[in-house]
Amino acid sequence: KGFPWKRLAAVAVTVFALWLVFRKINLDELFAVLRNTRVGWFVAALGVFGVTILSISVMRFRKTIE
């Protein structure tokens, strides 16, 4: 089948994009904010995000079956 060049390119682009985003962030400030995060609200937000993504995926999957 050969080497997955498209997959490697996608990973490289993703790593580069993350580097662009995180290079300007002060990590000490980021960790200070994360330490002061209310865990309950953070978990609730992650749950809502997960349910939203899952719902959208299910709707798209059902649409492709029809």
Q: What is the pLDDT of residue 16?
A: 98
Q: What is the pLDDT of residue 32?
A: 94
Q: What is the pLDDT of residue 3?
A: 83
Q: Strands, DSSP E only, in 1-66?
A: none
Tell whether the model's pLDDT for residue 8 goes beyond 90. Answer: yes
Exposed e or buried b for every residue in 19-39, given b needs 16+ CB within 10 A? eeeeeeeeeeeeeeeeeeeee
pLDDT in tens, 10-66: 999 999 999 999 999 998 999 999 999 999 999 999 999 999 999 999 998 888 876
Q: What is the pLDDT of residue 64?
A: 80
Q: What is the pLDDT of residue 2?
A: 79
